[in-house]
Structure 1
Amino acid sequence: MLRATLKSLLARKVRLVLSMLAVVAGVSFVTGTLVLTDTLNRTFDTLFADINKNVSVAVRSVNAIDPTSDVGRPPLPASLVSTAAGVDGVRVAVGKVNGQAVLVNPATGKPSNTNGAPGIGINWTGGQPTSAEEIAEGRPPGPGEIVVDRATAKKLHLSLGAKISVQTKGPPARYTLVGTFRIGGQDSLGGAAVTAFDTATAQRVLLAPDRFSAIHLAAGPGLTQEELRARVAAALPPGVEAITGRQLADESASAVQNAVSGFSTFLLIFAAISVFVGAFIIFNTFTMLVAQRVRELALLRAIGASKRQVQVSLQVEAALVGFAGATVGLVSGAGLALLLRVAVGVFGVALPSGALVFRPRTVVIAYAVGVLITAAAAFVPARKAASVPPIAAMRETYVLPTRSLRSRAIAGSVLTALGIVLLILGTASAGKPGATAVGVGAAGIFLGVATLSPLLSGPITRVLGAPLARMFGATGRLGRENAMRNPRRTASTASALMIGLALVSAFSVLGQSIKESVRETVSNSLGADFYLTPQNFGQGFSGEVARELAGKPGIEIATGLRGGLVKISGQSSQVLAGDPAGLVKMLAIKEVTGDVHALGDGTILAEDSTAADHQLRVGQKVPVTFADGRAELTLVGTYQKSQVAGKWIISTSEFARHSTDDLDLFVLVKRASGADPAMVRAEIATVVKSFATVEVRDQSEFVAQQEKQVDQLLGFIYVLLALAVIIALFGIVNTLALSVIERTREIGLLRAVGMTRSQMRLMVILESVIISVFGAVLGVVVGSIFGWALTKALASLGISTFAYPVRTILLVVLTGAILGVLAAVFPARRAARMDVLRAISAV
């Protein structure tokens, strides 16, 4: 039986390759994602280990919000350096300064990093026993001078002696470039532009005079990191902690790994979608192969093969296809990982050199996905093969019996109903739980509709094919009848395409709803005429911008917005900070209780529902934990739910008491009544000219920018979904190719009675178009429902409006038709080129 199985596979090489393609694509995606994840983790583990290899102990302030995060961590007094240096066993103590420093490209006048990688400022400590920095060209910096990482210098074509503008937390200043350096033996710190100043300058522009972000210690001979940490910790004041160098390296690597893990999970979701689509293709392929090999299977039974042997033979055949596909997918997955690595570099993350990491887990998962998914998809066709009676070998007209569609109707209806119930529950829940319920519900609807699709196939393909029958006459009618001939086959093929196009439709609906919600929010909740934003998302800009704009001619209000993570009543939450005089008006805050205009030092505002959840009333003390410790703020007012303001608001001055960063994320500007918009914009442009990191937009431009960001994200998602659509395309090609083989005699007879080659090609193409459009229609219907439910479930995140992208949905249906034409090229050509006499005489 094994020899028969192998001969059967090798005798049908084209079918083998077409069956493998779906496996290869899915396994490649899974493998590429796992290899990239492991490579990134290993790379950054090594990088941070090298950077901190000379640090025995690090001293830093306690972060009351997140013990492992440096965001908002209070600085240390410089006097602690001598305290730490005096501990027995400390060989040297070096103060470290870290902050935001955006290098301005002298050739363009724009920030050096505008694609997501941060701009980092440090003090130069090269040459110290704890340092990982070393000069590559030039010399260390002095007052008024800087050195930059070697990769950034090469990227911007910077020459020593050039005057470079650097934007820090204060007004921008120009420095002389006197050198370049390497970090931990690498030219770049993960793509970040790193600028180093002398220590006194770094303290002044990045932190505060006589302050350090941390203190790094080197141990004396024979002393372990743990031993030194214990000694140092005993000498530190309250609110200051000591950790080992290994712990510091692990924390730094962990922060990156968490981001990589999220990205990896995101990619694996789409890889799972591709594998799911591939399972449909494998099922359909083996169902058709069994139907075409009835006499062969019957002969095996007639010469003594048992039902079990026949079924095992088909399962082994499927497993071999899966194994071959997984092997190819494993190799191509490595290539995909290289492409993804290059793509990561395009987004500004320059990875240190190193080979791809292939862990044993990756190989195991690749073969498990390839073999198990293929074997599972072929299980039902294999059972059908085992049911072929030996007598069938004597009858040319025998066909496999088909079960009633009644059981499918019941199962499909139950799955669809459960999916709809979960969708409804998801729309009634807020945030992540609601989105999860919507996702599970959507999966249920996918399976339900796929199960019901054979019942839907006949009537829908009849309607879709009617125009083609009128347009192309007998050829069109034959194409439609071929699509309707086997509802199960048509439905299975269309269902694979349905999944990919349904997700495209769902994300299109979600994206359009997000864009419409942005327009309404900006129009109704923001009273600004101009919006000032950082060019590099996530990195703020100096609070000097808002302060300089305040009181300028033609400007009524200019208020900066900033914020961060705090803990209120033990729960993590985001707090918004702004100028009390302008914030309430600019954000259209609607008072519920108290006096929202009383916001100031020592006070806080809360959204009315949030205040109710925390059982707070106006006048009560609210315990708020900042990174530097706990404070009690008085609740002076509550306001109606706002998509912009969030749940908590404090004043900029109160926020500044707990943070050394004088950085705004936005500045909102409202012009005075009657002021000329062009003149006001010119006034703003004059102020921000020296702040190269700031962009100015009016309301329409700001909305367009937000929409562009949504479109970029959707574009990335569409690229990932394209693989599932391509796998479905392979499925249509496979189905049509096998269908042509199955109908060899019929094709020969049609040619014999006068059908031309061009008519034959057109018939196959029209059949493919009907199947594809059927899948697209199912996808659009299911995807639209999914998109609506997802929009409702994410309403708490600011998606307040449902909008339907009619043009995009029509494009999805048109895409289905185009895919049908592309999928039919090879099968149609093969059908048209058949020898008429051989086709008629085929058995």
Structure 2
Amino acid sequence: MIFALAWAQVRTYPARLLAIIAAVLLATGFLAATATFAATSGEGLRLTAAAPLTTADIVLDAESSVRDPGWYRAVADVAGVRTVDPQFARTVNVFGGDRRGSANVQSIAATPEIRWFHLDHGSWPNGTGQVVADQRTLDDLGVGVGGQLIFRQGDKQPVTVTVTGSTDLEFRPLTGSSFRFYADPSFFAGDVPPAALATVDDPDRLAATIDAVDRALPPGASAMSAAAAADQAAARFAGGNTQLVVLMMAFAAVALLASVLVIANTFHVVIVQRVRQIALLRLVGGHRGQASRMLLAEATIAGAVGATAGAAAGVAVGYLGAALLDISGGGLRVNPLALAGSVLVGVLATLAAAWLPARRATRIPPVRALQEAAEPPAGAVRGGRRLVVGAVVTVVAAAVLAVAGIGASLPLALVGGLLLAVGLLIALPRLIAVLLPSVTWLLERFGVAAGLAGSSLSQNARRTAAAAMAVVVGSALIACLAVAATTGRATIDADLEARYPVAVSARTDGGPISGDTVRRLAAVPELSVASTVATVDARFSDGGKATPAQLAALPTALAGTLAPELAASAGPPIVLLPAAYLAARGLSDGSPVSVGVGNRTLQFIAHASRLADTTGQLLGVTSSDALAAQGVAAVPTTAWAVARPGFDRALLADRVNAVAASDPAVELGGGITEGSDIADVLAILLGLSLAMLGVTVIIALLGIANLLGLSVIERTQEMALLRALGTRRGRLRAMLAIEAVTITLVGAAAGVVIGVPVGLVGVTATVGATATPVIRLPWGQLGLLLLAAVVTGVLASVAPARRATRISPAQGLTH
């Protein structure tokens, strides 16, 4: 009976529950997308990690203490072992076209059955100067099969290699480098292979064969089944998506909270509209429990429809996200329990949101069937005690966040953020309702339409505050993420500039650096000073790992910018040394040191400086004049460059890499080689904040449109009377648009006020212990947030305004 009544209501008035279904769809979709992303990416990472091991039966591993390049060969004589293939790996710098970067080169097994991929084009390499690569690597470098590249390993001379073949792996291998190549074992002459792959004659005797292989291996080497090794590799890499999954879960929780607010507000409006119907049900014998159960049944139906549709959409979105990140190589994976849990959470969230409005419906007396339903005015909004409790919790949270920021404690900041969310959820709706009369007073100054909009918002204060809260939740998170990302980037850039006074260092192995390379570096717009630096081999007293091996002679142009103490020194010559070296020698600033150059011994006064150990080399740095005065000739092997203030780090790195790509003789160092991983994380935060902005806009648009639409139905007589008194359709549209924009702007402004300081505290708590925070607000994104609020309000008012303008003036004379 109860379910039949609920189903009849849903079928008769489906538009009432449209916003509920859409809100549940979005929230459940976020949860299902997260679950699908976790399952799909986890399987993809497992495949990626284990792929090179899938063709073998036994994996042999050697510790770094093993020095014999042929340590694996004894295994070939073990009974039952069919083949043994060493697995080599090198990290090199690769140069192709106008690109350069780090590359991982792995060996291809001599036994064809052990090769874990097939070539799509070309042939396998059969010499030291040949490689094959995955197609993505070749596309990134702009070369094809038959093209040539330059490899350089460490300080060794560059070598030219030819690409003989290509393959499409359908996933990105986890090599830790930008590019990936595969070469014949002869390419790795002289290297000690860290691993080897073996196959056996009888897989049924695998355990016994592994024991025999273990006994044949030298100390420091071990054997295990390839299946076990693959499981270990999968477990090692499958956690690589954990942090992103946690972040997505946090966003899903925010979307769920915003949806709950929209659902609760919608049900409140629905109940106000159905006061007479519910009272009539009570009048004909229905008891309170039946009225409540009917509304909860409607919520269950709407929640089930929205959650089911959201789960289906979430599966597609989750797989798409894994595919965009190149971690979907194992195909679509869906966890049925997680998917069912997402649907259940969506339904339960709908019931939880509808519970309080349904409980209020039970208080409607039967006599109200003979009366009109009216929303209590703003002055009747209760909740003073809750406002006080929420304010107290918010103040405590602010104190905890302040302590977290000062003490650079991220766990304490998380606790403070949780307390702040609780306090604001309790207090903010009441605070917004209390402040609405002031908003009405302000709107009345902008004309009749604005005054009517303000009166409507104030008269329906509770629902207005609830609608605004859905916007507050999303906008606060967006502002927090945007501020954290922008301030974090500014802090990191400032810290890197302080720690790395040399933005770019390009050095050779000892020969003169190309004048063309130096000129091209000097032409990079982001660099203010670029000059050649001469070096000479030098002997310093042993200070352990921090001992320099060269003296660098700064020309006057660089000394004046980077080391004024060298340019201004009128006494004994100064040498700048790594602080760790001085500490290891027990020396302080101003201590005399002796440096051997050739058959001479030079005397200097030592000072600690970051110039001596932040350019990719350990150096003693002095002035070119000081060396020239003592008759020491140095070779211009290096170019140092200083960046302009506020430079774009990513753009500078791209331009410098393009210059260095044409000169394989140089190695890059300096500040541009640092901070790229952190910058990538911050870029992800910015991207996610924009994505969250889109979700918040959609949820807010649906909630406010539904609120206005139901409000128009409820206020039919009022609007008909306005039309009868001469109010034009345009003024009605303006009135509803102003109502919607006011709600979204109030919510967005409150979100910005909350999110900005929380974002700043988060950055301070995260990096405050290692760097001085540099506060920089993303004015563009905050402005975009407020603009999105205005646009959302206008869009949300379109459909309700169309309905309002169709109301006939004659309807104001009927009852």
TM range (shorter): 0.7 to 0.9
| Pair 1:788 & 2:772 matched | no
Match of 1:408 among 386, 410, 423: 386
Aligned mates of 1:292, 1:576 — CA distance in 2:
78
Q: Partner of 1:242: helix, strand, or coil?
A: strand
| Pair 1:802 & 2:780 matched | no
Q: How many residues get paired?
A: 725
CA contact (8 A) 2:96 2:661 kept: no
Once the two structures are superposed, residues 581-606 of structure 1 have per-residue CA deviations (whole angstroms, 9 ceiling, x without a partner) of: 789x9999x9xxxx974746996999
C-alpha displacement of 1:281: 0.3
Q: Partner of 2:38: helix, strand, or coil?
A: helix
CA contact (8 A) 1:442 1:786 kept: no
Q: Which residue of 1 aligns with 2:74?
A: 83
Residues 597 and 362 of structure 1: is their aligned pair in 2 closer, same or farther, counting only changes over 3 Å? closer
More moved, 689-698 vs 73-82: 689-698
After TM superposition, the structure 1 = structure 2 runs for residues 365-764 of structure 1, keeping only pairs within 5 Å, are: 365-397=341-373, 404-430=382-408, 432-459=410-437, 461-462=439-440, 466=442, 468-471=443-446, 473-528=447-502, 530=504, 554-556=531-533, 597=578, 599=580, 669=640, 689-691=662-664, 710=682, 713-764=685-736
C-alpha displacement of 1:284: 0.5
Q: Which residue of 2 aligns with 1:92?
A: 83
Q: Partner of 1:194: helix, strand, or coil?
A: strand
C-alpha displacement of 1:696: 9.1
C-alpha displacement of 1:258: 1.1
Once the two structures are superposed, residues 242-262 of structure 1 have per-residue CA deviations (whole angstroms, 9 ceiling, x without a partner) of: 333123212332343211222
More moved, 438-447 vs 708-717: 708-717
More moved, 701-710 vs 130-139: 701-710
Aligned mates of 1:11, 1:683 — CA distance in 2:
67
Aligned mates of 1:707, 1:180 — CA distance in 2:
32
CA contact (8 A) 2:449 2:734 kept: yes
CA contact (8 A) 1:279 1:377 kept: yes
After TM superposition, the structure 1 = structure 2 runs for residues 307-322 of structure 1, keeping only pairs within 5 Å, are: 307-322=288-303
C-alpha displacement of 1:516: 3.2
C-alpha displacement of 1:747: 0.7
Q: Which amino acid aligns with 1:375?
A: L
CA contact (8 A) 1:307 1:386 kept: yes
Aligned mates of 1:706, 1:232 — CA distance in 2:
44
Q: Which residue of 2 aligns with 1:836?
A: 809
Aligned mates of 1:546, 1:821 — CA distance in 2:
67
Aligned mates of 1:744, 1:813 — CA distance in 2:
31
Once the two structures are superposed, residues 658-682 of structure 1 have per-residue CA deviations (whole angstroms, 9 ceiling, x without a partner) of: xxxxxxxxx99358xxxxxxxxx99
Q: Partner of 2:149: helix, strand, or coil?
A: strand
Aligned mates of 1:216, 1:587 — CA distance in 2:
52
Q: Which residue of 2 aligns with 1:563?
A: none
CA contact (8 A) 2:720 2:809 kept: yes
Residues 684 and 810 of structure 1: is their aligned pair in 2 closer, same or farther, counting only changes over 3 Å? closer
Q: Which residue of 1 aligns with 2:329?
A: 352
C-alpha displacement of 1:102: 5.9
C-alpha displacement of 1:127: 3.0
More moved, 265-274 vs 121-130: 121-130
CA contact (8 A) 1:85 1:92 kept: yes
After TM superposition, the structure 1 = structure 2 runs for residues 158-307 of structure 1, keeping only pairs within 5 Å, are: 159-169=144-154, 170-181=156-167, 189=173, 193-201=179-187, 203-204=188-189, 209-307=190-288
C-alpha displacement of 1:268: 1.8
After TM superposition, the structure 1 = structure 2 runs for residues 323-338 of structure 1, keeping only pairs within 5 Å, are: 323-338=304-319
Aligned mates of 1:306, 1:527 — CA distance in 2:
78
Q: Partner of 1:352: helix, strand, or coil?
A: coil
C-alpha displacement of 1:279: 0.7
| Pair 1:143 & 2:128 matched | yes
CA contact (8 A) 2:59 2:225 kept: yes
Aligned mates of 1:828, 1:788 — CA distance in 2:
40
Aligned mates of 1:832, 1:81 — CA distance in 2:
85
C-alpha displacement of 1:172: 4.1
Q: Partner of 1:99: helix, strand, or coil?
A: strand
Q: Which amino acid aligns with 2:148?
A: K
Aligned mates of 1:693, 1:3 — CA distance in 2:
79
CA contact (8 A) 1:580 1:597 kept: no
CA contact (8 A) 1:104 1:164 kept: yes
C-alpha displacement of 1:768: 1.1
C-alpha displacement of 1:684: 11
Residues 296 and 342 of structure 1: is their aligned pair in 2 closer, same or farther, counting only changes over 3 Å? same
Aligned mates of 1:462, 1:708 — CA distance in 2:
45
**Stretches of structure 2 lacking an aligned partner (at least 5 in a row):** 519-529, 537-544, 554-558, 566-575, 588-605, 620-637, 643-653
Q: Which amino acid aligns with 2:758?
A: F
Aligned mates of 1:74, 1:259 — CA distance in 2:
29
Q: Which residue of 2 aligns with 1:819?
A: 792
| Pair 1:123 & 2:98 matched | no
Q: Which amino acid aligns with 1:729?
A: L
Aligned mates of 2:655, 2:242 — CA distance in 1:
45
Aligned mates of 1:786, 1:88 — CA distance in 2:
66
More moved, 311-320 vs 373-382: 311-320
Q: Partner of 1:133: helix, strand, or coil?
A: coil
Once the two structures are superposed, residues 801-824 of structure 1 have per-residue CA deviations (whole angstroms, 9 ceiling, x without a partner) of: 223444543443333223221221
Q: Which residue of 1 aligns with 2:751?
A: 779
Q: Partner of 1:513: helix, strand, or coil?
A: helix
Aligned mates of 1:785, 1:513 — CA distance in 2:
11
Q: Which amino acid aligns with 2:186?
A: A
Aligned mates of 2:656, 2:680 — CA distance in 1:
27
Aligned mates of 1:834, 1:578 — CA distance in 2:
86
**Stretches of structure 1 lacking an aligned partner (at least 5 in a row):** 63-72, 533-542, 560-574, 607-636, 654-666, 672-680
C-alpha displacement of 1:171: 4.8
Residues 651 and 231 of structure 1: is their aligned pair in 2 closer, same or farther, counting only changes over 3 Å? farther
C-alpha displacement of 1:707: 7.6
Q: Give the share of equivalent positions with the same residue, in percent.
A: 24
What TM-score, normalized by structure 2, do the two folds share?
0.78
What TM-score, normalized by structure 1, do the two folds share?
0.76
C-alpha displacement of 1:32: 1.6
CA contact (8 A) 1:508 1:714 kept: yes
Aligned mates of 1:486, 1:710 — CA distance in 2:
41
C-alpha displacement of 1:736: 1.1
Residues 580 and 726 of structure 1: is their aligned pair in 2 closer, same or farther, counting only changes over 3 Å? farther
CA contact (8 A) 1:558 1:669 kept: no
Residues 100 and 304 of structure 1: is their aligned pair in 2 closer, same or farther, counting only changes over 3 Å? farther
